[in-house]
Structure 1
Amino acid sequence: MALEELLDKVGGLGKFQILQMALTFPFYMIVVCHSLLENFTAAVPGHRCWVHILDNAIVSDNDTGILSPDVLLRISIPLDSNFKPEKCRHFLHPQWQLLHLNGTFPNMTDLDTEPCVDGWVFDHSLFSFTIVTEWDLVCDHQSQKSMVQSLFMAGMLVGSFIYGHLSDRFGRKLILRCCLLQLAISGICAAFAPTFLIYCLLRFWSGCSAVAIVSNNSMLIVAWVRAQSKATVITLIACALSIGQMMLGGLAFVFREWCTLQLVVSVPFFLTALVTAPFIRWLVESARWLIITNKPDEGLKGLRIVAHRNGMKNAEATLNMEGLRATMQEQLEAAQTKTTVFDLFRTPNLRKRICLLSFARFANTVPYFGIFMNLQHFGSNIFLFQVIFGALTISARCFALLVLNHMGRRLTQMLLMFLVGLFILANMFVPQEMQTLRLTLASVGMGCVAAAVSSNSVHNSELMPTLLRAKASGLNMMASRCGAALAPLLMTVVVYLPTLPWIIYGVCLILAGLLILLLPETRNMPLLDTIQDVENK
């Protein structure tokens, strides 16, 4: 906690912090594009079976030239319950008698059909090519489409655990630099993946690095911001993610081929990796982490750099080892003890905090990704929906900042999670025909859940001690990734009860909102540095 005094001396929110955010915000925007990329690269276009009489150019030109494509389609593809051509079956033989029914519809179950044995014909009007058309991920293979997104989320789950540990051991800057290069390589290689399996493995690898880029960037920024401004800075970080969501909608509208879009969101990381030296030099390693890991000389050097960049010349003269030891004696003594992720669960107060915060993050993430990963359910213009949802989350996160600064962390989270839960449960009683109302409720709920996630991030950073903050952030992110991976799986229970997934979403959110009240309030409180600080509080 004593480091807050030093931050006030070197400038808790000055030129250095603003420039650091300006340098790192573009990476948030591009990383979130990777997280939601399958909304577009794995979009499912309209499709039907490839049939010889209709799609073989030689046959169509010579033998059936007097028949229109619509007529050939009618005798080749059965109709579904909505009187649309079936997507996964075709007639075993052309049904010429269907040409003489004068608009009546026979019982299609009496006619012999079979699955698509010769492939599919896809509608390329919305997307030129997607991974669905590349590897025929439809009909019996449609579950493989969701596997890609699940593997990316699983990569984020694994990466948050591995890189959280490595960041606490080797520092935020080194791991950030490695992950920028890793995401560049895996993203570019994914655009040229020869098989679906290799593509899935590369997306898993991308997920591992994407989560580390977000978490390490956040820790580097937040570590140099005074307590009174942390909520504002974390909200700005969340808004950068929302801008990235909007940017993805625009990029996907321009680049309709999946491999081109994959390259567009990956090449910037590769270019950054090539010129990363000046970029990394501007970032300063967390003084908290340096001091806590028994590197006070480097921590003191970082404090002087920040004071110089913020124009605090008087502070540079007073920053010396004697003053540092006098100010942070307790933290320097704690630095002699090595910590592991299990230390988060050894003491009662810290164990309660990490469990409740992780459950709240999990409960928030499930409906967030349940909606965001299924934009095609809201209509055909998924580019517009992506932009709208991004804009709504920006507004909601700014609103959450105002509420956080007036109502505190606990009440804000509880209010937002209650609202999301109520919107989800209310949507169950809205008929499917009322699409506008359903979309409105989903949009407002999306905004509230984004604001709740931002509030949870603020609360998490203020409740966890510096000694374990990266590990706690990694564990909190793991809970988030578990929720993201579970979101599409929960939708499979609709075969038992159509409203069951939404009941689970809503009840979990309301329960998590109540449990948040068991955590202490942290508004305008200094950050904690050691486990003992947590237990003393």
Structure 2
Amino acid sequence: MTDYEVATAFLGEWGHFQQQVFFLLCLTVIPNGFSGMFIVFVGDTPSHRCVIPANVNLTAAWRNHSIPLELDSNSGALVPSKCSRYRLGDVLSLSDRGFLPGVDVNMSNVPTESCLDGWEYDQSVYISTIITEWDLVCDDRWKNPLTFSIFFCGVLTGSFVSGQLSDRYGRKIVLFVTMAVQTVFTFIMVFAPSWPVFCALFFIVGMGHISNYVAAFVLGTEILSPKVRTIYSTAGVSIFFAAGYMFLPLLAYFLRDWRMLLLGLTLPGFLYVPLWWFIPESPRWLLSRGRVEEAEAIVRDAAKKNKIKPPPVIFSPLQKELQCETSKALNICDLLRSPNIRWISLTLWLVWKLFRFTALHPDGKHYSCVGVAEPPAARELWNASA
């Protein structure tokens, strides 16, 4: 596409048009910062213990000693068990007979049972999470990490599908459709009646999450000039993505019910609708589809915004060349054909995998620190690539 760069060089590097595209596309990345990360708060597990029903007639001493103590692996202190209690029938019998726990009765001899009446959760940090909503603890604690995995299954699916869709229907329409998918299905998650329904919706959010990000990334790199493209792809999208997940813990601090948090994260997505009239389609993609007049109209509009007079003919001599250039269909296997591209692809896949495993699982206390570290890291990456 060298001839494309030559044909559009008259637009300059950083006019009003480029600034508009740069910042508006960066804005579309902000929801990605919290749509893929809110599970850190929504799926956090607060301290919990077995419920002792209030209607069980126990003395205060026995009620306070109805949960066995166990060694906490983090603090090394003895804490109430999270998944067992002393067998309630035995405790009730000992209480009725006037025995005192630890004085008349060796508690290690009292049999235990699982939390048959459910759990009570510490609400000092969260009012509710999906863990407390559906009791995803003890025997069901495996469901929490599986929720993460289902989201990334959606990300994987979206990674394959979005590229094909954007090549066929255009970068712009895929960008806005996937933004709508991400927003609408996050909103529907607010009303999820069960964990399986929540996971099914989260899978679709994962598809929209990665598809929106990739579409915005590609659209920006195809419209912007080479120098600005470098800034956009290294610092621009990274900083605005970080802004999204720096905003998330602030909102989570005020909205401590998981449904209210998701609702709060959904509302900004509807503010992006007007951007449809300000973000153009990729002229490169239009040229690849033979839609030269539409591509030229976008470039002429860009020249008008930059207060530059365009040449009489911009793309017509390139039409046949560009159509021949894009006539050969490419697929993911092309990333592995030559040794150089194969090495770059495998390296990027490994780095991305390690990043996702380490960056998406901080607890709430350290979450903001990860976001704060992102902008300076993005700036250093930009400096290194400049």
Asked if Structure 1 and Structure 2 have the same fold, meaning a TM-score greater than 0.5 normalized by the shorter chain, the answer is yes
Question: Within 5 A, what are the aligned runs for 1:214-363?
Answer: 214-234=213-233, 235-272=235-272, 276=273, 278-313=274-309, 316=310, 318-320=311-313, 323-326=314-317, 330-335=321-326, 337-341=327-331, 344=334, 348-349=337-338, 352-353=340-341, 355-363=342-350
Shift of 1:326: 3.5
C-alpha separation between the residues in 1 aligned to 2:383 and 2:38? Answer: 31
Aligned to 2:85: 90
C-alpha separation between the residues in 1 aligned to 2:332 and 2:48? Answer: 51
Question: Within 5 A, what are the aligned runs for 1:109-188?
Answer: 110-188=109-187
C-alpha separation between the residues in 1 aligned to 2:83 and 2:37? Answer: 27
373, 396, 401: which one aligns with 2:360: 373
Q: Any conservation in 2 of the 1:171–1:289 contact (CA below 8 Å)?
A: yes
The residue identity in structure 2 corresponding to 1:302 is I
Question: Within 5 A, what are the aligned runs for 1:515-534?
Answer: none
Question: Within 5 A, what are the aligned runs for 1:400-479?
Answer: 400-405=381-386
Q: Cα distance 1:98–1:238, how it changes in 2: closer, same or farther (>3 A)?
A: farther
The CA deviation string for residues 207-235 of structure 1, in whole angstroms up to 9 with x for no partner, is 11111111111222221222122221111
Aligned to 2:372: 391
Q: Cα distance 1:389–1:319, how it changes in 2: closer, same or farther (>3 A)?
A: farther
C-alpha separation between the residues in 2 aligned to 1:243 and 1:129? Answer: 25
Aligned to 1:447: none
C-alpha separation between the residues in 2 aligned to 1:188 and 1:242? Answer: 22
The CA deviation string for residues 342-397 of structure 1, in whole angstroms up to 9 with x for no partner, is 56258x43x741x3333223322333233333323xxxxx2x41111101121111
Structure with the larger helix share? 1
Q: Secondary structure at the match of 1:245?
A: helix
Aligned to 2:16: 15
C-alpha separation between the residues in 1 aligned to 2:12 and 2:318? Answer: 17
C-alpha separation between the residues in 2 aligned to 1:98 and 1:289? Answer: 79
Identity rate of aligned residues, in percent?
A: 24
The CA deviation string for residues 487-533 of structure 1, in whole angstroms up to 9 with x for no partner, is xxxxxxxxxxxxxxxxxxxxxxxxxxxxxxxxxxxxxxxxxxxxxxx
Aligned to 1:99: 101
C-alpha separation between the residues in 2 aligned to 1:325 and 1:270? Answer: 38
Q: Any conservation in 1 of the 2:183–2:269 contact (CA below 8 Å)?
A: yes
The residue identity in structure 1 corresponding to 2:343 is L
Q: Secondary structure at the match of 1:12?
A: coil
How many residues align structurally?
372
Confirm or deny that 1:80 pairs with 2:70. yes
Q: What root-mean-square deviation, in Å, do the aligned CA atoms of Structure 1 and Structure 2 show?
A: 2.4
Shift of 1:194: 0.9
The residue identity in structure 2 corresponding to 1:371 is T
Q: Any conservation in 2 of the 1:179–1:209 contact (CA below 8 Å)?
A: yes
C-alpha separation between the residues in 1 aligned to 2:209 and 2:361? Answer: 21
The CA deviation string for residues 47-82 of structure 1, in whole angstroms up to 9 with x for no partner, is 011123xxx1x446xx53xx26xx6232x1111123
Q: Cα distance 1:400–1:146, how it changes in 2: closer, same or farther (>3 A)?
A: same
Q: Secondary structure at the match of 2:192?
A: coil
C-alpha separation between the residues in 1 aligned to 2:186 and 2:63? Answer: 42
C-alpha separation between the residues in 2 aligned to 1:252 and 1:15? Answer: 36
Q: Cα distance 1:23–1:161, how it changes in 2: closer, same or farther (>3 A)?
A: same
C-alpha separation between the residues in 1 aligned to 2:367 and 2:154? Answer: 23
Shift of 1:101: 4.6
Aligned to 2:201: 202
The CA deviation string for residues 446-467 of structure 1, in whole angstroms up to 9 with x for no partner, is xxxxxxxxxxxxxxxxxxxxxx
Q: Cα distance 1:333–1:156, how it changes in 2: closer, same or farther (>3 A)?
A: same
Instruction: Give the TM-score normalised by the residue count of structure 2.
Output: 0.89
C-alpha separation between the residues in 2 aligned to 1:31 and 1:360? Answer: 24
The residue identity in structure 2 corresponding to 1:402 is N
Tell which deviates more after alignment, 90-99 or 263-272. Answer: 90-99
C-alpha separation between the residues in 2 aligned to 1:290 and 1:215? Answer: 18
The CA deviation string for residues 314-343 of structure 1, in whole angstroms up to 9 with x for no partner, is xx2x142xx5244565324324x1514156
The residue identity in structure 1 corresponding to 2:353 is V
Aligned to 1:4: 5
Aligned to 1:191: 190
Q: Secondary structure at the match of 1:207?
A: helix
Q: Any conservation in 1 of the 2:292–2:319 contact (CA below 8 Å)?
A: no
Instruction: Give the TM-score normalised by the residue count of structure 1.
Output: 0.65
C-alpha separation between the residues in 2 aligned to 1:22 and 1:227? Answer: 16
Q: Cα distance 1:161–1:98, how it changes in 2: closer, same or farther (>3 A)?
A: farther
Aligned to 1:49: 50
Confirm or deny that 1:364 pairs with 2:345. no
The residue identity in structure 2 corresponding to 1:242 is A
